[in-house]
């Protein structure tokens, strides 16, 4: 789990999504095959491998962005929410629980993940990073397979979801990301147990697991999953209304906030756009 930090981040969205966020007290993480830049799911050596990487996209600038209002808030009639980094609920797991090798604190509800999504966390938990904008094809389509890394599955997950073409630089994007393999808990435990007690079979089952991931026809169990917010942190939520939000829409936002997050602060955009 990443360390809490002090800067605030911003997420542009529709009023409808604001309702879902506050009602469920959670935020959606989507597979890279469902983000706006369709290049991101591809790598230089494994077709469509990015579909196993899930992200929640945020903006790191306090300055209002006209393009982001236009793209993600239904023609500037949505909202921008503001929260500190890592506003998620934390979960404590004892050594051996859900396959953890030590006592662990994570932002992922493992029970819900395995029950609802049938996926497994592979490369640690949720990470936060700034997007790097580039026109270097080697970065845009990185080679992921790396037989030299010291882990069961020989991939360099750190290159996934990190780079976008310079055309997207106006987004000033940062994102939370996590790699989820299409295996249930039983399969994960089987892999670990075989690797511990039967070295002769370990190479075979690891090879099978990697073949499943590398097969472009392997279907991901879920296109998205949800991460819970820490309700105490959510109490300090700030909501900025889009430049073209009508009085009626503002009243709807106020009703949503009154019902699901009464301590949130609402303000209007300073932009004047017809």
The string of pLDDT tens digits covering residues 196-239 is 776 667 777 888 888 888 999 998 988 999 999 999 999 999 99
Domains held by the chain: number: 1
CB 129 within 8 A of CB 162: yes
How far is the C-alpha of 229 from the C-alpha of 220, rounded, in Å? 25
Neighbours of 207 (CB within 10 A): 10
- Domain for residue 124, yes or no? yes
Most confident of 32-36, 97-101, 182-186: 32-36
The model carries a pTM of 0.91
- Domain for residue 232, yes or no? yes
Neighbours of 271 (CB within 10 A): 13
- Domain for residue 16, yes or no? yes
Segment holding 78, helix H or strand E: none
- Domain for residue 220, yes or no? yes
Beta strand spans in the chain (E): 8-13, 26-31, 53-59, 79-84, 91-93, 104-106, 120-121, 127-130, 132-134, 163-165, 173-181, 224-228, 238-241, 265-268
Q: Tell me, what's the pLDDT at 5?
A: 54
Q: Per-residue pLDDT tens for 238-260?
A: 999 999 999 999 999 999 999 99
Q: Which residue has the higher pLDDT, 5 or 227?
A: 227
How far is the C-alpha of 160 from the C-alpha of 141, rounded, in Å? 9
Q: Is the pLDDT of residue 101 over 60?
A: yes
- Domain for residue 1, yes or no? no
Q: Please, what sign has the CA dihedral across residues 154, 160, 166, 172?
A: negative
- Domain for residue 2, yes or no? no
Q: Is the pLDDT of residue 51 over 50?
A: yes
Residue 110 domain boundaries: 8-268
pLDDT band at 19 (very low <50, low <70, confident <90, very high): very high
- Domain for residue 3, yes or no? no
- Domain for residue 273, yes or no? no
Q: Is the pLDDT of residue 154 over 70?
A: yes
Residues ≥6 apart with Cβ < 8 Å to 99: 120, 185, 188, 189, 192
Q: Tell me, what's the pLDDT at 2?
A: 47
């Amino acid at each position: 789990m990443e360390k809490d930090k002090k800067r605030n981040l911003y997420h542009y969205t529709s009023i409808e999504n604001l309702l879902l966020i506050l009602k469920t007290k959670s935020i959606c993480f989507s597979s890279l095959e469902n983000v706006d830049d369709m290049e991101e799911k591809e790598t230089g050596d494994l077709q469509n491998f990015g579909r196993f990487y899930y992200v929640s996209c945020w903006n790191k600038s306090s300055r209002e962005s006209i393009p982001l209002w236009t793209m993600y808030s239904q023609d500037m009639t949505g909202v921008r929410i503001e929260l500190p980094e890592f506003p998620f609920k934390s979960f404590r797991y004892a050594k051996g629980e859900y396959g953890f090798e030590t006592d662990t604190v994570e932002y992922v509800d493992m029970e819900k993940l395995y029950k609802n999504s049938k996926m497994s966390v592979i490369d640690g938990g949720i990470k936060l990073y700034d997007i790097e904008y580039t026109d270097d094809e080697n970065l845009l389509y990185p080679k992921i397979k790396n037989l030299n890394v010291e882990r069961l599955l020989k991939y360099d997950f750190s290159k996934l979801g990190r780079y976008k073409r310079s055309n997207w630089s106006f987004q000033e994007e940062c994102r939370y990301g996590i790699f989820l393999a299409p295996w249930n808990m039983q399969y994960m435990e089987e892999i670990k147990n075989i690797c511990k007690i039967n070295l002769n079979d370990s190479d075979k089952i690891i090879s099978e697991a990697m073949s499943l991931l590398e097969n472009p026809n392997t279907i991901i169990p879920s296109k998205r999953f949800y991460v819970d917010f820490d309700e105490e942190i959510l109490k300090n939520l700030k909501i900025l209304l889009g430049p073209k939000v009508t009085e009626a829409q503002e009243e709807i936002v106020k009703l949503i906030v009154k019902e699901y997050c009464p301590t949130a602060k609402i303000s209007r955009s300073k932009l004047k756009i017809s």
